[in-house]
Structure 1
Amino acid sequence: MTRTAGEVLEEMTARLAPGPDANPLLPLIASGAADLDTLAVLAMEQRLVIAADLLSFRHLAERSAVEDPACAPFFEMLAEGEEVAAGRLGALAQACGVDEERATAYEPLPGCQAYPSYVARLALGAVPADVVLALSANFASWGGYCATIAKSLRDHYAFTVEACGFFDFFAEPAPELEERAKGRYRRGWTRGGSTRRRPTATGDCCRATNRCSGPHWRAPERGAGNCATSHDVPAGAHGREGYGAWAKRP
């Protein structure tokens, strides 16, 4: 029986759902136990991740326009979203005590950059349809992580609305992005629109993407010892405007 596009995405997301120990940093942030040096590392690593992913998504959009046009809208929206997210990193970094000089001198942790490195590899040579599914499955856990972090930054660290904006952005549901992913799979599994499945190649792509995201959450705490002393963070009001809200822009 032929499955719907939504069922394909839901199945892969469920299959790749992270285990309870997949993100050791999250409970530390959620409880307020992570210090600001650790948050500073996370912010500086995200600065590099976003810059790399922006280039990867733009390249995937360009490739897809030629190889698999039904994938292009998905990657175009991702690239636009990375630009928005990049604009919100400054407030997060400032709240963590990171100035431009410190950010420029920062040396990235290899584990934190495993994910964008693999995404760049996918951008260069993977079948675009496989990447759509792999990223869609990975984003489900990423959005949940961001929601938890954003709440904790308010509750335990008194971050302002602007300082929480980066994580708020990714925490919101993105129905338009999901619909663009489904739009590709309504045409079938392969780039030619066939309904023939490619489970091995697609599954490998999804699993590798998911595994490469794991080290990102284990490295920041280890790297915090190399960070400068934390600064006090001003208290601020609450508010949210995430990826889903941005997607509804006029």
Structure 2
Amino acid sequence: MPTHVPTRDAAELVQAVRKETAASGNRFLDLLESGDVPRERLVRLAGEQYRILGSDRRSFALLASRYPEPPAGDMFLSLAQGEGRALELLRDFAAALELSETDLTAYEPRPPAQTYPAYVAQRAAFGTAAEVALAMLANLEEWGAYCGRAADALTRRYGFDEDAVGFFRFFAEPPPGFGEQAAAVVAAGLEAGEDPADMARAARLLHAYEKAFWDALADGL
């Protein structure tokens, strides 16, 4: 978003960024829904997510320490706790794939699939609370929809039970109160004079890196 474009409020900025980063398709999930993703690629999904969750958990904890005052501090602490819960649920998915904790730890991640957590870590160290809040808020609906599709496909096409897909169900719905907290953090950033162009750029990049994650899972299929 160019810096000269006026932004009346946080809701307007979120809407503009969501429109700009609208989903453009997800080949991996298309293949998953048709039953054409082999088991070894599901192992890759679990392994990549294991790395992402651990990284994001630390990133959100760092953000909470950098911005401890509410609503930012509360929001980032909640997100860090959510990543911890998601990690527990991911282990159930891994177990359904006969993967142990040792297997997950030994998994060698693909660089394109890890650009998302790398960028979150960068923003956690050098970005602002409002940048991260906008990026997460703008991409939340798309990520949740993808997780919902994954859970449905894994149960319908691959025979996983609900315990095994709990990780995906967990992310299919937004964390309680997150939308309001994130919008408040974005609004505070705007009121403090942060450039909406910088905030929108963070959201665009995060969206691109999430797409890179899914593309990496579909690569070669």
Please give the TM-score of this superposition, normalised by the length of structure 1.
0.80
Q: Select 1:12's aligned residue among 17, 21, 28.
A: 17
Per the alignment, do residues 185 and 50 of structure 1 end up closer, same or farther by CA in structure 2, a change over 3 Å counting? same
Specify the SS of the correspondent of 1:216.
helix
Q: How many residues align structurally?
A: 216
Determine which of 189, 203, 206 is the counterpart of 1:206: 203
User: 1:41–1:223: 8 Å Cα contact kept in structure 2?
Assistant: no
Q: Structure 1 residue 87 and structure 2 residue 84: aligned?
A: no
Shift of 1:155: 0.6
Offset, 1:102: 2.6
1:1-250 → structure 2 map (5 Å cutoff): 3-20=8-25, 23-65=26-68, 69-187=70-188, 189=190, 193-194=191-192, 196=193, 198-222=195-219
Looking at structure 2, the residues matched to 184 and 100 of structure 1 have their Cα atoms a distance apart, in angstroms, of 36
Q: Which runs of 4+ in 1 moved over 6 A?
A: none
The amino acid of 1:200's aligned partner reads: A
Cα 1:6–1:160, aligned 2, differ >3 Å: closer, same or farther? same
- Tell me the CA shift for residue 71 of structure 1: 1.8
Q: In the aligned structure 1, how far is the partner of 2:139 from the partner of 2:203?
A: 8
Question: How far off is 1:223 after superposition?
Answer: 8.0
Structure 1 residues without counterparts, runs of 5 or longer: 225-250
Q: Classify the secondary structure of the residue corresponding to 1:3.
A: coil
Amino acid at match of 2:98: G
Identity fraction in percent: 36
State the alpha-carbon separation in 2 of the partners of residues 45 and 2 from structure 1.
Answer: 37
Shift of residue 36 of structure 1?
1.4
Q: What amino acid maps onto 1:55 in structure 2?
A: R
Q: Specify the structure having the higher radius of gyration (Cα).
A: 1
1:158-199, CA deviations, whole angstroms, 9 ceiling, x for partnerless residues? 11111010000000233510011122234351xxx33x5612
Look up the SS of the partner of 2:71 in the other structure: helix
Please state how far the C-alpha of 1:7 moved relative to its aligned partner: 3.1
Question: Where in structure 2 are there 5+ consecutive unaligned residues?
Answer: 1-5
1:223/1:119 CA distance change after superposition, 3 Å: farther
Q: CA deviation at 1:11?
A: 2.4
Shift of 1:221: 4.1
- What secondary structure does 1:156 align onto? helix
Secondary structure at the counterpart of residue 102 of structure 1: helix
The whole-number CA distance in structure 1 between the counterparts of 2:212 and 2:153 is: 21
Name the aligned partner's letter for residue 104 of structure 1: T
1:115-162: CA deviations, max 9, x gaps? 001100000001111111011112221111000000111111111111
CA contact (8 A) 1:112 1:217 kept: yes
Separation in structure 1 between the aligned mates of residue 187 and residue 77 of structure 2, nearest angstrom: 19
Instruction: Give a deviation string over 1:91-112, Cα, whole Å, max 9, x none.
Output: 1011123233432321111011
* TM-score relative to the length of structure 2: 0.89
Deviation at 1:64, TM superposition (A): 0.9
- For 2:135 and 2:105, how far apart are their aligned partners in 1? 31
Instruction: Indicate the residue corresponding to 2:3 in structure 1.
Output: none
User: Which amino acid counterpart does residue 156 of structure 2 have in structure 1?
Assistant: D
